[in-house]
Structure 1
Amino acid sequence: MIPATSFAGRRVSLFGLGGSGIATARALIEGGAEVLAWDDNPESVARAQEQGVTTGDLRGADWAGISSLVLSPGVPLTHPKPHWVVELARAASVEVIGDVELFARERNRLQADAPFIAITGTNGKSTTTALTSHILKSAGRDTQMGGNIGRAVMTLDPPAAGRHYVVECSSYQIDLAPSINPTAGILLNLTPDHLDRHGTMQHYASIKEQLVAGSETAIIGVDDAWCAQIADRLERAGKEVIRISKRLPLTDGYFADGTNLMEAVHGRYSRVGFLEGIGSLRGQHNAQNALAAVTACLKVGLELGEIQAGLESFPGLAHRMEQVARKDHVLFINDSKATNADAAAPALSSFPRIYWIAGGLPKEGGIEPLRGFFPRIAKAYLIGEAAPAFSATLGEAVPYEIAGTLATAVERAAAEAARDESGEAVVLLSPACASFDQFKNFEVRGEAFRQAVAAIDGVKPIGGTR
């Protein structure tokens, strides 16, 4: 845990008592703050009380004596309208911040030169965070990973000389972290997302921009217009900007040429790494993730050889194009985290011959946006509530069957893929749906896929993330 010593002797209110909220409250208490915490959920309040956190309805608090409101990232800050606790804090001129801001202040206070890599973007954040952390760890660096992935940021070990931090940041967290100042800030990409929370795409983009604007070095993917504009704007303001592209040969920066990772310096190119043969980093989207990780690791002092070794040993992110097993020419891929069509697209774009398991609780738009990938699908096995709608979309374009359950889908897909004589065949769970009709969450769905695959005679597990 990182004690929030910056708040010693101060009265702090905290709202939102999920797992990270309770961890943040304990960090504040450990750092010497007087904390009054609350949540709209009585069960969350009870759990916090059991862990020694003082609770009380903040509607009746004396806001004149409170220095800060520490807000859970999931609580509305601006849209569709500010939560009542935010309105109370603002009326009393009390700052509203989050746990990433607490971390930033503690790092600045205790070890300002501790390497800090922060990652954001609409897509690819988790893979880039996990990959960057893996490269650092495999190179022998003292590495802490957390934030919007894995551990709550204040549960990491305290800042110390040589200790590296790799933190995934959602737009919600950045919005509550005004002094975030990473050594290397990564902005991967921007597409419309969370607009119910941020109101407009312009506002959403401006929040993401805050992370790279506050960094020593801004690493920005320039394959979309929003990010390209941000890169230009920050460079004009004097910020060190490194551009990355998964497809464009840049004049200066880093880009992907097929599976080769290239550096461009004044129009002259040299290879800095490669992804050929690295199954956990297939696809153009992973080229962008890898470029970001490579660039950030170079920034904090790693050598190219150390970085390439980390790329080659990366096991992949659990439930995200995770290589689970192989049987002869059939590869089994768990992409359970793909809970909508856009999230399923990277996996469908990465394999030429797919036996696709899809379905669950459908999202708006269904799988129509994936029509361009239909020629890659040998057959689809449809499960859950979405099966009838998905079958209508597939129509005569793709052979399909209504499998109903995941276990049946795995059994049928594995058997038919085994008879495929066209080369490598992939049994892919990439549902393009939420899991809630049949499973508690996408993690449980992914684990059910792993277990169904493991039950197949002769299958050989692939060492991956568990």
Structure 2
Amino acid sequence: MIKFDNYSDRLIGILGLAKSGKAAINSFIERGAQIVAWDDNEKILEQVREEFSNQSKSLLFASPAEEKIWRRADAFLVSPGIPMYYPTWHPLYKVAHGQGIPLYCDIEFLYQKTNKNVGFIGITGTNGKSTTTALINHVLRSVKIKTEIGGNIGTPVLELEELNSGFYVLEVSSFQLDLLEKTRFNIAVCLTITPDHLDKHGTFKRYVEAKQQMFNNQEKGDLAIISTDSYINNQIMSEVIARKRAKVIPISRTEQIEGGVSVISGVLYDNYKSKKRYNVPDINSLIGEHNGENMAAAFTACIGVGVKPEEVIAAFKTYKSLPHRMDLFHRFNGINFINDSKATNADSTYWALKNFDNVYWIAGGICKDSGIKLLKPFFEKINHAYLIGDAAEGFAAILAESNVPYTIATTLVNAISIIKAQNIENGNVLLSPACASLDQWKNYEERGNAFMKLVKEKWPG
């Protein structure tokens, strides 16, 4: 756990009390800080009140309406995902700006606490962030480089162990990037950016601007690793090159790039360092064309800190995929069951439908982007769709245009029961929702775990 000696007897405002907010309370209270905290979710708020009931002398819960208390804070720590400026300014955003109070995410606090012998590797983009983060961490640890992995991947950074050397390997969301000031990523990775979280940012332009902040504090000697597989990413790369600070290394999953790294059809082309090509075929934990980008990014980052190319390739082959990502977790008499609950937008589901045929597709939840129209090239692969959550009616209308059979199942439980009753004999039952989970679940992990449990109950063995 990260501990903050320099905040003893100072007041820290913490907004958002899920995982990162609770970790922050523990970190600051450990060294004598005073905390004012709040969460708009009443259930979470009550859980935290109960959990920290023995800290009443150090911890005060106050709503944003109690501005006098929040104005006394020395800094605000804001949890990821809390909309600060869209569709309207959050009341505490106004307080912070009006009083000149720093407004940070937990990564900024970690950076300002960490000694300069420790490097920061940050990974952002729309899809693939978690896999790339985990893959980099796996490779570095395989060659005995000390790391701590956290951020948007799941572990709050203030729960990590303090390092005196090595690297913090961090998945960084657009919300966290919006709340950084001094954080410098020695290696900054930007995967392909596509529209996402527009309900929190308002426009795609603002979402992209948040992602670009990844490179703001880089200096000479740092690396900026940027996918060239989209027009937006190429614009970002041009702007980073124009700054003449970090060394820019392009990556791609579609074409070989001069001075860059590509992974195409099972071959990694290193035109950056070794000028060699390496076979990376049939790595079960990295199936799918989209993982070419993830491997190219991880390879480039790791050789950037001195790992030999051959060591990176060897480590790829021992990597185990993260849960809820195209995980073929169960087979039963010719039926495959795939948990891709992490697919919270259509761009992510695109790769699942591209990778599998003969699909029985479970989709729906809270739609974050333009829906599933971009998936039309794969509709012919879908034998039947089972639609759940808020997006069910909208998805049904799009599927009907292409004569794709569907059932509005409403819930995951109903969808599984319907599939069981249909007595399918072979095919791929795919949970790849193309939607966020928060209409019916705490998060995508809970949704994925429920899917796996239901499947194993209905199709035991």
What TM-score do the two structures reach when normalised by structure 1?
A: 0.84
Aligned to 1:138: 142
User: Superposed, which structure 2 residues align to 1:180-219 within 5 Å?
Assistant: 180-215=183-218, 216-219=222-225
Conservation of the 8 A alpha-carbon contact between 1:212 and 1:219? no
Conservation of the 8 A alpha-carbon contact between 2:387 and 2:396? no
Query: Deviation at 1:445?
Result: 3.3
Q: Which of 309, 334, 349 is equivalent to 1:304? A: 309
Query: Deviation at 1:103?
Result: 0.8
Query: Deviation at 1:104?
Result: 0.8
User: Superposed, which structure 2 residues align to 1:169-184 within 5 Å?
Assistant: 169-184=172-187
Conservation of the 8 A alpha-carbon contact between 1:324 and 1:334? yes
- The farther-off stretch of 425-434 and 164-173 is 425-434
Q: Which of 409, 414, 425 is equivalent to 1:416? A: 425
Aligned to 2:89: 82
Aligned to 1:2: 2
Conservation of the 8 A alpha-carbon contact between 2:71 and 2:96? no
Counterpart-to-counterpart distance in 2, 1:381 and 1:54: 49
Query: Deviation at 1:84?
Result: 1.2
Query: Deviation at 1:161?
Result: 2.2
- Structure 2 CA distance for partners of 1:271 and 1:455, relative to 1, 3 Å: farther
Q: Which of 46, 50, 55 is equivalent to 2:60? A: 55
User: Superposed, which structure 2 residues align to 1:444-463 within 5 Å?
Assistant: 444-454=446-456
Instruction: Give the letter for the 1:11 counterpart.
Output: L
Query: Tell me, which stretches of 5 or more residues in structure 2 are unaligned?
Result: none
What is the count of residue pairs matched by the alignment?
A: 444
Query: Tell me, which stretches of 5 or more residues in structure 1 are unaligned?
Result: 418-424, 460-466
Conservation of the 8 A alpha-carbon contact between 2:387 and 2:395? no
Query: Deviation at 1:342?
Result: 2.9
Aligned to 2:253: 246
Instruction: Give the letter for the 1:188 counterpart.
Output: L
Instruction: Give the letter for the 1:231 counterpart.
Output: M
Structure 1 residues 436-459: Cα deviation after superposition (integer angstroms, max 9, x where no partner): 677665333322432354457796
Counterpart-to-counterpart distance in 1, 2:417 and 2:97: 54
1:158 aligns with 2:167: no
Aligned to 1:432: 434
- Structure 2 CA distance for partners of 1:299 and 1:387, relative to 1, 3 Å: same
1:372 aligns with 2:381: no
Conservation of the 8 A alpha-carbon contact between 1:2 and 1:156? yes
Query: Deviation at 1:272?
Result: 4.3
Aligned to 2:354: 349
For residue 85 of structure 2, give the secondary structure of its aligned residue in structure 1.
Answer: coil
- Structure 2 CA distance for partners of 1:441 and 1:177, relative to 1, 3 Å: closer
1:294 aligns with 2:303: no
Aligned to 1:222: 228
- The farther-off stretch of 194-203 and 431-440 is 431-440
Query: Deviation at 1:50?
Result: 1.8
- Structure 2 CA distance for partners of 1:137 and 1:265, relative to 1, 3 Å: closer
Instruction: Give the letter for the 2:448 counterpart.
Output: G
- Structure 2 CA distance for partners of 1:302 and 1:406, relative to 1, 3 Å: farther
Aligned to 2:28: 28
- Structure 2 CA distance for partners of 1:73 and 1:360, relative to 1, 3 Å: closer
Conservation of the 8 A alpha-carbon contact between 1:358 and 1:433? no
For residue 206 of structure 2, give the secondary structure of its aligned residue in structure 1.
Answer: helix
1:14 aligns with 2:20: no
For residue 193 of structure 1, give the secondary structure of its aligned residue in structure 2.
Answer: coil
Query: Deviation at 1:409?
Result: 5.3
Query: Deviation at 1:212?
Result: 2.5
Counterpart-to-counterpart distance in 2, 1:128 and 1:151: 15
Counterpart-to-counterpart distance in 2, 1:436 and 1:123: 18
Aligned to 2:74: 67
Query: Deviation at 1:303?
Result: 2.2
Structure 1 residues 161-182: Cα deviation after superposition (integer angstroms, max 9, x where no partner): 23x3211111111111111112
- Structure 2 CA distance for partners of 1:319 and 1:15, relative to 1, 3 Å: same
Counterpart-to-counterpart distance in 2, 1:176 and 1:441: 22
- Structure 2 CA distance for partners of 1:383 and 1:16, relative to 1, 3 Å: closer
Counterpart-to-counterpart distance in 1, 2:399 and 2:70: 58
Structure 1 residues 257-297: Cα deviation after superposition (integer angstroms, max 9, x where no partner): 2121211249x9521451x1112212221111111111112
User: Superposed, which structure 2 residues align to 1:313-332 within 5 Å?
Assistant: 313-326=318-331, 331-332=336-337
- The farther-off stretch of 237-246 and 432-441 is 432-441
User: Superposed, which structure 2 residues align to 1:253-292 within 5 Å?
Assistant: 253-265=260-272, 269-272=275-278, 274=280, 276-292=281-297
- The farther-off stretch of 309-318 and 448-457 is 448-457
Instruction: Give the letter for the 1:83 counterpart.
Output: H
Conservation of the 8 A alpha-carbon contact between 2:396 and 2:408? no
Counterpart-to-counterpart distance in 2, 1:291 and 1:226: 19
Conservation of the 8 A alpha-carbon contact between 1:355 and 1:413? no
- Structure 2 CA distance for partners of 1:436 and 1:157, relative to 1, 3 Å: closer
Instruction: Give the letter for the 2:231 counterpart.
Output: A
For residue 117 of structure 2, give the secondary structure of its aligned residue in structure 1.
Answer: coil
Counterpart-to-counterpart distance in 1, 2:380 and 2:417: 24
Counterpart-to-counterpart distance in 1, 2:164 and 2:75: 26
Aligned to 1:422: none
- Structure 2 CA distance for partners of 1:426 and 1:17, relative to 1, 3 Å: closer
Counterpart-to-counterpart distance in 2, 1:397 and 1:76: 36
- Structure 2 CA distance for partners of 1:369 and 1:257, relative to 1, 3 Å: closer
Aligned-residue CA RMSD (Å): 3.1
Query: Deviation at 1:345?
Result: 0.9
For residue 158 of structure 1, give the secondary structure of its aligned residue in structure 2.
Answer: coil
Query: Deviation at 1:2?
Result: 0.5
Structure 1 residues 87-124: Cα deviation after superposition (integer angstroms, max 9, x where no partner): 112111121112110011112xx3x2223211111221
Counterpart-to-counterpart distance in 2, 1:265 and 1:301: 13
Query: Deviation at 1:198?
Result: 2.8
What TM-score do the two structures reach when normalised by structure 2?
A: 0.85
- The farther-off stretch of 120-129 and 405-414 is 405-414
Structure 1 residues 282-328: Cα deviation after superposition (integer angstroms, max 9, x where no partner): 22211111111111122222222332232222221211111213468
Query: Deviation at 1:219?
Result: 0.9
